Amino acid sequence: MSQVVPAAVPFRVAVVNGSPSERSKTMGLVDVIVATLRDVLGAESRPIEETRIDVYRLGPGFTGALDREGVTPEVEAALRRAEEADLLIAATPVFRGSYTGMFKHFFDLVDQYALANKPVLLAATGGGDHHALVLEHALRPLFGFFQAMTVPVAIFASSGDFDGTTLLNPRVYGRIETALTDVADILKERAAGERTAPVG
Ligand SMILES: Cc1cc2nc3c(=O)[nH]c(=O)nc-3n(C[C@H](O)[C@H](O)[C@H](O)COP(=O)(O)O)c2cc1C
Protein backbone atom coordinates (compact mmCIF):
# COMPACT_ATOMS: atom_id res chain seq x y z
CA MET A 1 0.00 0.00 0.00
CA SER A 2 1.17 3.54 -0.63
CA GLN A 3 0.08 7.01 0.42
CA VAL A 4 -1.04 9.31 -2.40
CA VAL A 5 -1.81 13.02 -1.88
CA PRO A 6 -5.01 13.68 -3.89
CA ALA A 7 -4.56 16.46 -6.46
CA ALA A 8 -7.41 18.48 -4.90
CA VAL A 9 -5.80 18.70 -1.46
CA PRO A 10 -4.59 22.31 -1.26
CA PHE A 11 -0.93 23.14 -0.92
CA ARG A 12 -0.83 25.41 2.14
CA VAL A 13 1.53 28.38 1.98
CA ALA A 14 1.84 30.59 5.06
CA VAL A 15 3.64 33.93 5.00
CA VAL A 16 4.77 35.53 8.25
CA ASN A 17 5.79 39.17 7.75
CA GLY A 18 7.53 40.87 10.66
CA SER A 19 7.02 44.42 9.33
CA PRO A 20 5.03 46.96 11.37
CA SER A 21 4.18 48.94 8.19
CA GLU A 22 0.85 48.90 6.38
CA ARG A 23 2.66 49.63 3.12
CA SER A 24 5.41 47.07 3.55
CA LYS A 25 8.31 46.58 1.14
CA THR A 26 8.75 43.16 2.70
CA MET A 27 5.20 42.23 1.69
CA GLY A 28 5.97 43.69 -1.78
CA LEU A 29 8.85 41.22 -1.99
CA VAL A 30 6.52 38.43 -0.81
CA ASP A 31 4.02 39.37 -3.59
CA VAL A 32 6.68 38.52 -6.19
CA ILE A 33 7.73 35.35 -4.34
CA VAL A 34 4.16 34.02 -4.20
CA ALA A 35 3.41 34.93 -7.84
CA THR A 36 6.63 33.20 -8.93
CA LEU A 37 5.78 30.17 -6.79
CA ARG A 38 2.48 29.83 -8.66
CA ASP A 39 4.36 29.96 -12.00
CA VAL A 40 7.05 27.50 -10.91
CA LEU A 41 4.59 24.96 -9.50
CA GLY A 42 2.48 25.25 -12.65
CA ALA A 43 -1.21 24.86 -13.38
CA GLU A 44 -1.28 21.08 -12.86
CA SER A 45 -0.12 21.35 -9.26
CA ARG A 46 -2.39 21.22 -6.21
CA PRO A 47 -4.35 24.46 -5.68
CA ILE A 48 -2.39 26.90 -3.50
CA GLU A 49 -4.08 28.04 -0.28
CA GLU A 50 -2.27 31.13 0.90
CA THR A 51 -2.34 32.74 4.36
CA ARG A 52 -0.56 36.03 5.01
CA ILE A 53 0.17 37.00 8.58
CA ASP A 54 1.27 40.59 9.17
CA VAL A 55 2.30 40.22 12.79
CA TYR A 56 1.53 43.82 13.74
CA ARG A 57 -2.11 43.32 12.72
CA LEU A 58 -2.50 40.61 15.38
CA GLY A 59 -2.78 43.42 17.94
CA PRO A 60 -2.65 43.39 21.76
CA GLY A 61 -3.80 39.75 21.96
CA PHE A 62 -0.45 38.99 20.35
CA THR A 63 1.91 41.66 21.69
CA GLY A 64 0.58 41.24 25.25
CA ALA A 65 0.81 37.44 25.27
CA LEU A 66 3.62 36.07 27.42
CA ASP A 67 3.06 32.47 26.33
CA ARG A 68 0.88 30.34 24.03
CA GLU A 69 -1.85 29.96 26.67
CA GLY A 70 -2.21 33.76 26.79
CA VAL A 71 -3.05 34.37 23.11
CA THR A 72 -6.48 35.24 21.72
CA PRO A 73 -8.30 32.75 19.41
CA GLU A 74 -7.39 34.91 16.38
CA VAL A 75 -3.70 34.71 17.25
CA GLU A 76 -3.97 30.98 17.95
CA ALA A 77 -5.46 30.53 14.46
CA ALA A 78 -2.56 32.47 12.90
CA LEU A 79 0.01 30.39 14.80
CA ARG A 80 -1.66 27.18 13.64
CA ARG A 81 -1.67 28.35 10.02
CA ALA A 82 2.10 28.82 10.25
CA GLU A 83 2.63 25.50 12.05
CA GLU A 84 0.47 23.51 9.63
CA ALA A 85 1.70 25.04 6.36
CA ASP A 86 3.33 22.89 3.68
CA LEU A 87 5.64 25.82 2.93
CA LEU A 88 6.41 28.67 5.31
CA ILE A 89 7.71 31.97 3.95
CA ALA A 90 9.45 33.77 6.82
CA ALA A 91 9.89 37.43 5.86
CA THR A 92 11.01 40.45 7.86
CA PRO A 93 12.53 43.87 7.46
CA VAL A 94 15.95 44.29 9.05
CA PHE A 95 15.63 46.31 12.25
CA ARG A 96 18.79 47.17 14.19
CA GLY A 97 20.76 44.52 12.33
CA SER A 98 18.32 41.65 12.93
CA TYR A 99 14.71 40.52 12.48
CA THR A 100 12.06 42.70 14.10
CA GLY A 101 11.02 42.10 17.70
CA MET A 102 7.46 41.23 16.65
CA PHE A 103 8.73 38.66 14.15
CA LYS A 104 10.72 36.93 16.92
CA HIS A 105 7.78 37.21 19.33
CA PHE A 106 5.59 35.33 16.83
CA PHE A 107 8.10 32.49 16.62
CA ASP A 108 8.56 32.49 20.41
CA LEU A 109 4.89 31.46 20.51
CA VAL A 110 5.23 28.75 17.82
CA ASP A 111 5.40 25.20 19.19
CA GLN A 112 8.99 24.02 19.56
CA TYR A 113 8.46 20.92 17.37
CA ALA A 114 5.88 22.22 14.86
CA LEU A 115 8.36 23.31 12.18
CA ALA A 116 10.61 20.24 12.21
CA ASN A 117 11.48 19.23 8.63
CA LYS A 118 9.15 21.92 7.23
CA PRO A 119 10.39 23.76 4.10
CA VAL A 120 10.97 27.40 5.10
CA LEU A 121 11.90 30.11 2.61
CA LEU A 122 13.75 33.05 4.19
CA ALA A 123 13.28 36.62 2.92
CA ALA A 124 14.27 40.04 4.23
CA THR A 125 14.42 43.69 3.20
CA GLY A 126 16.75 46.40 4.46
CA GLY A 127 17.52 50.06 3.93
CA GLY A 128 20.73 49.08 2.09
CA ASP A 129 22.71 45.96 1.23
CA HIS A 130 25.02 46.08 4.27
CA HIS A 131 22.81 43.86 6.38
CA ALA A 132 21.90 41.24 3.75
CA LEU A 133 23.65 38.55 5.78
CA VAL A 134 21.02 38.93 8.48
CA LEU A 135 19.39 36.07 6.54
CA GLU A 136 22.32 33.80 7.36
CA HIS A 137 23.31 35.15 10.79
CA ALA A 138 19.87 35.68 12.35
CA LEU A 139 17.06 34.01 10.41
CA ARG A 140 18.70 30.72 9.46
CA PRO A 141 19.87 29.95 13.02
CA LEU A 142 16.36 30.69 14.34
CA PHE A 143 14.89 28.08 12.01
CA GLY A 144 17.83 25.80 12.78
CA PHE A 145 16.55 25.80 16.35
CA PHE A 146 13.19 24.55 15.02
CA GLN A 147 14.97 21.89 12.92
CA ALA A 148 13.15 23.30 9.89
CA MET A 149 14.37 22.64 6.35
CA THR A 150 15.43 26.13 5.26
CA VAL A 151 15.68 26.57 1.49
CA PRO A 152 19.38 27.05 0.60
CA VAL A 153 18.83 30.28 -1.37
CA ALA A 154 17.48 33.09 0.80
CA ILE A 155 16.15 36.34 -0.69
CA PHE A 156 17.17 39.89 0.20
CA ALA A 157 16.10 43.20 -1.31
CA SER A 158 17.02 46.72 -0.25
CA SER A 159 15.09 49.98 -0.50
CA GLY A 160 16.74 50.88 -3.84
CA ASP A 161 15.27 47.72 -5.40
CA PHE A 162 11.71 49.08 -4.98
CA ASP A 163 9.46 51.79 -6.31
CA GLY A 164 7.27 52.21 -3.23
CA THR A 165 6.44 48.61 -2.39
CA THR A 166 6.85 47.33 -5.96
CA LEU A 167 9.98 45.25 -6.52
CA LEU A 168 11.84 46.38 -9.65
CA ASN A 169 15.36 44.91 -9.57
CA PRO A 170 15.65 42.03 -12.11
CA ARG A 171 18.58 40.54 -10.15
CA VAL A 172 16.24 39.93 -7.16
CA TYR A 173 13.62 38.42 -9.50
CA GLY A 174 16.31 36.02 -10.73
CA ARG A 175 17.24 35.02 -7.19
CA ILE A 176 13.59 34.39 -6.38
CA GLU A 177 13.33 32.05 -9.39
CA THR A 178 16.45 30.17 -8.28
CA ALA A 179 15.11 29.75 -4.72
CA LEU A 180 11.71 28.58 -5.93
CA THR A 181 13.21 26.08 -8.37
CA ASP A 182 14.85 24.55 -5.28
CA VAL A 183 11.48 24.61 -3.48
CA ALA A 184 9.84 22.81 -6.42
CA ASP A 185 12.57 20.14 -6.34
CA ILE A 186 12.13 19.65 -2.58
CA LEU A 187 8.36 19.29 -3.02
CA LYS A 188 8.76 16.80 -5.90
CA GLU A 189 11.12 14.66 -3.81
CA ARG A 190 8.65 14.73 -0.93
CA ALA A 191 5.72 13.82 -3.16
CA ALA A 192 7.72 10.90 -4.60
CA GLY A 193 8.54 9.79 -1.03
CA GLU A 194 4.86 9.97 -0.06
CA ARG A 195 3.91 7.77 -3.03
CA THR A 196 6.44 5.11 -2.10
CA ALA A 197 6.29 5.28 1.72
CA PRO A 198 4.43 2.36 3.28
CA VAL A 199 1.46 3.26 5.47
CA GLY A 200 1.65 2.47 9.19
C1 LIG B 1 13.49 50.88 13.58
C2 LIG B 1 14.14 50.59 12.26
C3 LIG B 1 15.37 49.97 12.24
C4 LIG B 1 16.00 49.66 11.01
N5 LIG B 1 17.22 49.06 11.02
C6 LIG B 1 17.81 48.73 9.84
C7 LIG B 1 19.07 48.06 9.83
O8 LIG B 1 19.66 47.76 10.86
N9 LIG B 1 19.60 47.74 8.62
C10 LIG B 1 18.98 48.04 7.44
O11 LIG B 1 19.51 47.71 6.36
N12 LIG B 1 17.79 48.69 7.42
C13 LIG B 1 17.20 49.04 8.60
N14 LIG B 1 15.98 49.66 8.59
C15 LIG B 1 15.31 49.91 7.29
C16 LIG B 1 14.27 48.82 6.97
O17 LIG B 1 14.81 47.52 7.14
C18 LIG B 1 13.80 48.92 5.52
O19 LIG B 1 13.28 50.21 5.27
C20 LIG B 1 12.78 47.85 5.18
O21 LIG B 1 12.72 47.66 3.79
C22 LIG B 1 11.39 48.19 5.69
O23 LIG B 1 10.53 47.12 5.35
P24 LIG B 1 8.93 47.27 5.46
O25 LIG B 1 8.50 48.34 4.48
O26 LIG B 1 8.42 45.92 5.08
O27 LIG B 1 8.61 47.64 6.87
C28 LIG B 1 15.36 50.00 9.79
C29 LIG B 1 14.11 50.65 9.83
C30 LIG B 1 13.52 50.94 11.05
C31 LIG B 1 12.16 51.63 11.06
In ligand 1, which atom is closest to the CA atom of 94?
A: 17
State the pLDDT at residue 197: 66
Residue 45 burial (CB count, 10 A): 15
Delineate the domains of the chain, giving CATH numbers in brackets.
11-195 (3.40.50.360)
**pLDDT, average across residues 97-123:** 98
State the pLDDT at residue 36: 97
Rounded to the nearest integer, the mean pLDDT of the chain is: 94
Is the Cβ atom of 131 under 6 angstroms away from ligand 1?
yes
State the pLDDT at residue 192: 86
Mutating to test ligand 1, I would choose from 55, 89, 96 the residue with most ligand atoms within 8 A of its C-beta, which is 96
pTM listed for this prediction: 0.94
Cα of 47 to ligand 1 centre, how many Å?
34
Rounded CA separation 43/136 (Å): 33
**pLDDT, average across residues 97-102:** 98
Closest among 51, 98, 83 to 148, alpha carbons compared: 83
**pLDDT, average across residues 187-198:** 80
How confident is the model over 23-39, as pLDDT tens digits? Answer: 999 999 999 999 999 99
Report CA-CA distances (Å) from 2 to 5, 7, 113, 195. 10, 15, 26, 6
The end-to-end CA distance of the chain, in Å, is 10
Cα of 176 to ligand 1 centre, how many Å?
21
Cα of 126 to ligand 1 centre, how many Å?
5
Cα of 25 to ligand 1 centre, how many Å?
10
Rounded CA separation 78/71 (Å): 10
Is the Cβ atom of 97 under 6 angstroms away from ligand 1?
yes
Rounded CA separation 94/168 (Å): 19
Cα of 192 to ligand 1 centre, how many Å?
41
E-assigned strands of 98-161? 119-126, 149-150, 155-158
Does 2 score more than 60 pLDDT?
Answer: no
State the pLDDT at residue 198: 67
Does 196 score more than 80 pLDDT?
Answer: no
Compare 9 and 14 and report the one with higher pLDDT. Answer: 14
Cα of 93 to ligand 1 centre, how many Å?
5
Is the Cβ atom of 128 under 6 angstroms away from ligand 1?
yes
Rounded CA separation 49/8 (Å): 11
Rounded CA separation 197/1 (Å): 8
Is the Cβ atom of 150 under 6 angstroms away from ligand 1?
no
